[in-house]
Amino acid sequence: MVVQHDLSCLMTFDLTRDEIWFLKALRAAGERGRIVSAPTSRAGLAHLVEVQYVTEHPQSERKTLYIITDRGRQALANEPQ
């Protein structure tokens, strides 16, 4: 029997200080997530969405709800304190 593993779930990405801060804020927000309206903040979250650490849910033209994923929580757990 051959067992194949999806290695993409084991990949980690280097995170900036700002990205770590965002992940911590989203983890603290819990299931309800956090609404972000500042364009610069949304731009900073784009990488976290791309690597599937965060999901984004547009609420209006200027507001987006962000929620941390299990993958994002695991990335935080792996970060040196």
Reported as a single tens digit per residue, the pLDDT across 2-53 is 333 343 445 567 889 999 999 999 999 999 999 998 887 787 799 999 999 9
- What pTM, to 2 d.p., does this model score? 0.79
Please measure the distance between the N-terminal and C-terminal CA atoms of the chain and give it in whole angstroms: 41
**Residue 48 region by backbone torsions, left for phi larger than 0, else alpha for psi between -120 and 50, else beta:** alpha
Query: Going along the chain, which residue ranges are E strands?
Result: 34-36, 54-58, 64-68
In the chain, where are the structural domains located? Answer: 33-81
Residue 81: band (very low, low, confident or very high) from pLDDT cuts 50, 70, 90: low
Q: Is the pLDDT of residue 71 over 60?
A: yes
| Nearest alpha-carbon partner for 67 in 19, 20, 31 | 31
Q: Is the pLDDT of residue 77 over 50?
A: yes
- Extract the tokens encoding 56: 């984004």
pLDDT at 78: 84
